[in-house]
Structure 1
């Protein structure tokens, strides 16, 4: 896959680097993300260790896309740890808000990571628009897998849905309680983790990663 403006790289089978079983840094300090990624990696002989456990710093997210931010986080963690590193950059894109908060989804929650406050901000912005305004939204997840020598593979997933108010359910994290995936009645906040993992944006990106770089015979 390539970002806009980039020259396409060779992504034939010979160009994909396989991830061997062993330790892998999860380049995140978000406990909810780390938990989900651990569960998704469980069957593949990977031993996840979080950036927080290794006391790695959080880089400033200066990218303008989900993929760019995932890459810079993965590359820093791989360089500092000497291990392969997997980073996730994800967010909620509300179509009536010009796809905001988008890459700023975490920042909308403030320094205290208060996603109740972030969801309220989204709802207030929508409430200021005409009543007939669409509440369609989608989550995007970009995964970047980096090695200490600078090699990177990346994958991007998406799930579409609509927003509800007030938020529903105490499962998941982030904006999950206000997001109902298309074709379902429950919000991500109401779903059991195993149900969410089947359809989420992160699961979509992981399916691509598994097919490309992980040993599926395990």
Structure 2
């Protein structure tokens, strides 16, 4: 396909993550500002990501992608899910203490990349199981990175260096699938 991918987001953290993930795979990331695109609020991660990509395509009329994440905390019946940004903006690191005492701290971090070329939307998913830390920890306060400890680590994403995070990231898993699609013959 192409060595360039247009990424619609306002998040510098997401752009940095995309660049780390895709540049190493030979794909340049170019950021497009979503401006005032309406975002669907739903617990259905696939729907939220798909609608975001369709709205962005209608604005820019170029093949592009969006990424949307979710943090599903088992003790909270899957919340905050795809509403993680809303919860984090309101609660911040207090989200760690919302889990009832004695309840499981198991959680799943998910990412869906939706690519729209004007004809259809293709979606690429990644997920990582882990747990919520007892308290927020780490230098990079990027949404739930200070709270999520992936299986196989004792560190939150925010305590890891960026390259280590990429190796253990649910987002990276989605980007690898997306990159395979972009590099496939048309």
TM-score of the aligned structures, taking structure 1 as reference length:
0.77
2:72/2:109 contact within 8 Å kept = yes
> How many angstroms does 1:80 deviate by?
1.6
Matched, 1:99 2:78: yes
Q: Which moved more, 1:25-34 or 1:90-99?
A: 25-34
The verdict on how the C-alpha distance between 1:62 and 1:164 changes in structure 2, with shifts beyond 3 A counting, is: closer
Gaps of 5+ in 2: none
> How many angstroms does 1:59 deviate by?
2.0
- CA distance, structure 2, for counterparts of residue 45 and residue 184 of structure 1: 28
Q: Which residue does the alignment assign to 1:214?
A: 182
Cα root mean square deviation, aligned: 2.1
> How many angstroms does 1:151 deviate by?
1.6
2:88/2:144 contact within 8 Å kept = no
Q: Which residue does the alignment assign to 1:119?
A: 93
TM-score of the aligned structures, taking structure 2 as reference length:
0.89
Q: Which moved more, 1:184-193 or 1:165-174?
A: 165-174
Give the secondary structure class of the aligned counterpart of 1:175: helix
- Whichever of the two has the greater Rg, that structure is 1
Matched, 1:31 2:12: yes
Matched, 1:170 2:170: no
- What does 1:195-214 correspond to in 2, within 5 Å? 195-211=164-180, 213-214=181-182
The verdict on how the C-alpha distance between 1:64 and 1:161 changes in structure 2, with shifts beyond 3 A counting, is: closer
The verdict on how the C-alpha distance between 1:209 and 1:82 changes in structure 2, with shifts beyond 3 A counting, is: same
Q: Which moved more, 1:198-207 or 1:168-177?
A: 168-177
Q: Which residue does the alignment assign to 1:192?
A: 161
Q: Output one character per residue of 1:86-116: Cα deviation in whole Å (capped at 9) or x when no partner.
A: 1111021100000100011011133xxx6xx
Gaps of 5+ in 1: 1-18
**Partner of residue 40 from structure 1, selected from 21, 37, 41:** 21
- CA distance, structure 1, for counterparts of residue 6 and residue 175 of structure 2: 16
Q: Output one character per residue of 1:124-165: Cα deviation in whole Å (capped at 9) or x when no partner.
A: 321xx2x32111111010110111x23211111100111112
Q: Output one character per residue of 1:176-199: Cα deviation in whole Å (capped at 9) or x when no partner.
A: 111111121111111001011012
